Amino acid sequence: MLVAKIVLGLLGLGIVVFIHELGHFLAARLVGIDVEAFSIGWGKPIFKKKMGNVEYRIGMFPIGGYCKMRGENEFQEAYEKMEKEIPPVKGTFYGTSPARRIIVSFAGPFFNLLFAVLVLAVIWGIGFEVHTLDNRIVLASDVNPGERYPAGEAGLMTGDRIVKIGNTAITNYRDIQEVITANPEKNLAVTVERDDAVLELTVRPELDKTTGAGKIGVYYWADPVVGMVTPESPASIAGIEAGDRILKVNGKELPYTVGMFAILRDQPPVLTVEYERNGVLRNTDIILSYGNGQAADVGMSYQTLRYHTPSYSPLGALVKGAQETWKTFVVSLKSLALLFRGIDLTQAVSGPIRITYMVGDVAAESFGQSIGTGLSATANFLALISIALCIMNLLPLPILDGGMILLFIIEIVKGHPLRPKTIYAFQTVGVVLIFGLMIFAVFGDILFLARR
């Protein structure tokens, strides 16, 4: 299963990187810059084929890629000879105007953004099935006694149904997550239905320093009706079947599924379960095992709410895709700003290993539900990664596309080419920064996988 996730993850990342490099490639050809090589993956080529003046390659390491444009030799010679400028040789990267170089540098991130719009447009055009839970909540403080959370301090109670946050109508738990996670440390007006009353409350999500997201301390309310049982799991061996309603576990009533968290936290060796099947009360024992201090896998999941989104017309789908891309773009920028507010960077910053695992995990888990769910969930996640890659590359840091754009803007303002020595120093700083960030991210990835 792990191998399958890695393969799916590498394929997904390969697509996103291909789109990025394709943007650079097409823009370079458009403005008259010669492309010497176009590669998906880094390292020694395991496949290469020359077509026209371009050599197409597949690198040994399938994460990343590059579009090698003509001009590196001219730049290196000018640097070594300490010349004041790079010779403007026709067809080379530095032989064209800085405005055209800006176009080429911007094209990669732009293609990632365009890819996200088109992917999301296709998904919304076809429509997709969403698995979520009710907008009724359970307070985390009721599951974890003694702990305090913003939801409880705001006056929310277990069993409340959240119907509106700010100006956003809430119909399911996914809606709650989207609004809360995007608004840490902001006062939010919350409309709640409790019994026959409608209450207006104010909640202020706290900043989760492990993720950079807002949280208020609520779980979803889900009735403990079994939706699926894993074959040969402890639950399956004990005779639990899909459709069974769990009533009590180890003598404790189980009104909602998250109540199981508190029971499993004490790592009981046996779960004595009272459940109902077709109106008949039954009892069974589920034998659990624990390895390396990890939580036991009971082997059963609970029923979720499912709904199918409406199918949009081609134009409507394109507009919806653009709206969703913009919304994700803005949320990603806000999340980037949170990196400077004391969050745990080893948790919040993902490197290539973790991203590969996450893409593969999303694909494997969602395809396990259905082909349609797998395609839509994987495409959504790839769109998210593509937007993140766009933002990252537009940062004004040396060696990134944004850093190169900054250099070329300076060149336009100054009115003359920059010295090769200046460009080289700028790129060297970039290499050191990116290499350091990569080591940090990979270290975080290793810690992430160790916790899995």
Residue holding tokens 């202020």?
204
> Where in the chain are all domains bearing CATH 2.30.42.10?
137-220, 226-296
pTM, 2 dp: 0.70
- Which architecture does CATH list for 137-220? Roll (2.30)
Closest CA to 341 of 204, 186, 209, 206: 209
Answer whether 130's CB lies under 8 Å from 118's CB: no
Catalytic residue among 21, 74, 324, 411: 21
Write out pLDDT tens, residues 427-441.
777 666 666 655 645
Closest CA to 451 of 246, 215, 293: 293
Q: Percent of the chain having pLDDT more than 70?
A: 79
251/238 Cα distance (integer angstroms): 17
Helix axes 371-394, 314-338, angle to 10 degrees: 50
Answer whether 131's CB lies under 8 Å from 308's CB: no
Task: Name the fold adopted by 226-296.
Answer: Pdz3 Domain (2.30.42)
Write out pLDDT tens, residues 293-338.
566 788 888 887 777 777 888 899 899 889 888 887 877 776 666 5
Residue 178 designated active-site: no
Closest CA to 301 of 250, 357, 255, 241: 241
Write out pLDDT tens, residues 118-150.
988 988 888 777 777 889 999 998 888 878 899
